[in-house]
Amino acid sequence: MSKGVGVDLEDVCIRFGDFVAVREANVSIKGGEFFSFLGPSGCGKTTILRAVSGFLEPSEGRVMIGGKDMAGFGPNKRPTALIFQNLALFPLMKVWENITFSLEVQGVGKAARRKRADELLEMIALTGQGDKLPSELSGGQKQRVAIARALCAEPDVLLLDEPLSALDLKLRQHMRTELREIQKRVGITFIYITHDQGEALTMSDNVAVMRAGIVDQISDGHSIYNDPATPFVASFVGENNVFRGKVKSINGDHAVIDTNRSGDLVARIATSAKGSLNIGDPAMMFLRPEACKIATDTSAAQNRLTAKVLHEEFEGQIYNVFLEGAQGKEIKMSLVNVGQERQSKHSNELTLEYNPDQAVILPAGELASE
């Protein structure tokens, strides 16, 4: 199996008539990487995947696979295999025929195909189930058959379009681990599409976050979560409390913004905004619920807020506390459940505190809609 074939999108624009589905996407995916596209519904993820697999030619720009321009190569001529959102197994073929369809296309004899099918069935832990029809399998099993079918073609790049979205939560989490393991074993490039940030963050080496046809940020899950490049990324990935204001002062890596309701707040300037943020600019500060703590020192400071407890949700490993700050500003805080006394009774006045390094400031921009 050939390994490590990279995929590069260079200035890719895709238009449907007047509608721009993808604009100027520049994405470089290294060979052997597990790469995810993450974004809300309708942002153009599938469209990008179809351009990589060859079902769609970009209106502008180039799709390179292994350094080779793919323009003019149809889906059957590209070293990619696509796993569809609904799997698209062939309902009238047996499981083993499904898996080895690509070999059948190549004219491989039946005995050899059967043998290969059995190897792949073993890999996906479905030994002995080759003679069933897809309709006789469970959701997770079908999923694995679809993966085996795609891998059987020995593609250099495997493309997965939200393949887990039809599964229930437990199975989805299980398949995440399994997919990641399969990817490590076969070592080929995986391009994975999802609107589920948990999936993207747990499995991927790198994630591209998309918003309405635009790639906002490409980096590893850590940076996406801790150092978002745009307000959209900050609000789409994970949860964040948003504070709007104007930049009041800048001090090295940190800035203070003057929010109209919560006073002056200090936070780290996001990497993408360094050098471009000026005093007086409209800005946003993002504070994650889990970065909030209950302060023991209640004196005023630029990293403290006072708030009143509205209600509390108990989730097991964490408590979510919903608070109301000055002038009705809603704030959410998450506390790890370590068996502490629940001090957040209704309408308790609290002082919250955060580490300024754990909050980020970005130039004001579009947020992900809830």
Partner 1 sequence: MNIANFFRNYFEKNGIGLGTFLLVAVVFWVVVLIILPQLSMLDFSFRHHLPPPEMGGPKDVYTLEHYEYLILGAPGADTSYNVVDLGVFGRTLMAAVFVTLLNLVICYPIAYYLAQTKGGGGYTRILVLLLIIPYWINEILRAFAFRIIFGDSGLINETLLVFGLIDNPVDFIRANVALYAGLGYAYILLMIFPIYNVIESLDRNQIEAARDMGASWTRIHWRVVIPYAKPGISSGCTMVFMLTAGALAAPQILGGPSSLWFTQIIYQWFNQGGNWPRGAAFAIVLLVTCVIIVLSMMRIFKVRMGDIGK
Ligand X SMILES: Nc1ncnc2c1ncn2[C@@H]1O[C@H](COP(=O)(O)OP(=O)(O)OP(=O)(O)O)[C@@H](O)[C@H]1O
Subset of 149-178 contacting partner 1 (CB under 8 A): 149, 153
Residue 104 within binding range of partner 1, rule CB under 8 A = yes
Among 36, 46, 47, 80, binds partner 1 (CB under 8 A): 80
Considering the complex, state which of residue 90 and residue 314 has its C-beta at the smaller distance from partner 1.
90
Residue 84 within binding range of partner 1, rule CB under 8 A = yes
Residue 337: name its binding partner from Mg ion, ligand X, partner 1, none (Cβ under 5 to 8 Å by kind): none
Q: In 3-state terms, what secondary structure has residue 198?
A: helix
Q: What is the DSSP letter of 87?
A: B
Q: Closest separation between CB of residue 119 and Mg ion, Å?
A: 31
Strands 359-363 vs 282-287: parallel, antiparallel or unpaired: antiparallel
Quickly list H helices, the chain.
45-53, 95-99, 101-105, 110-123, 139-152, 169-186, 197-203, 221-226, 231-236
Residue 112 within binding range of partner 1, rule CB under 8 A = no
CB of 259 closer than 8 Å to CB of 248 = no
Among 4, 11, 62, 86, binds partner 1 (CB under 8 A): 86
Q: Closest separation between CB of residue 110 and ligand X, Å?
A: 37
Q: Closest separation between CB of residue 180 and partner 1, Å?
A: 23
Considering the complex, state which of residue 39 and residue 54 has its C-beta at the smaller distance from ligand X.
39
Residue 91 within binding range of partner 1, rule CB under 8 A = yes
Query: What number of H helices and E strands is found in the chain?
Result: 9, 20
**Closest-CA residue to 36 (of 179, 218, 273, 211):** 218
Residue 26, phi then psi, degrees to nearest 5:
-120, 105
Question: Per-residue contact track with Mg ion, 44 to 73, x per CB under 5 A?
Answer: --x---------------------------
Q: Is the torsion defined by CA of 19, 47, 91, 106 positive or negative?
A: positive
For binding to partner 1 (CB under 8 A), which residues are involved? 53, 55, 74-77, 80-82, 84-86, 88, 90-93, 101-102, 104-106, 149, 153
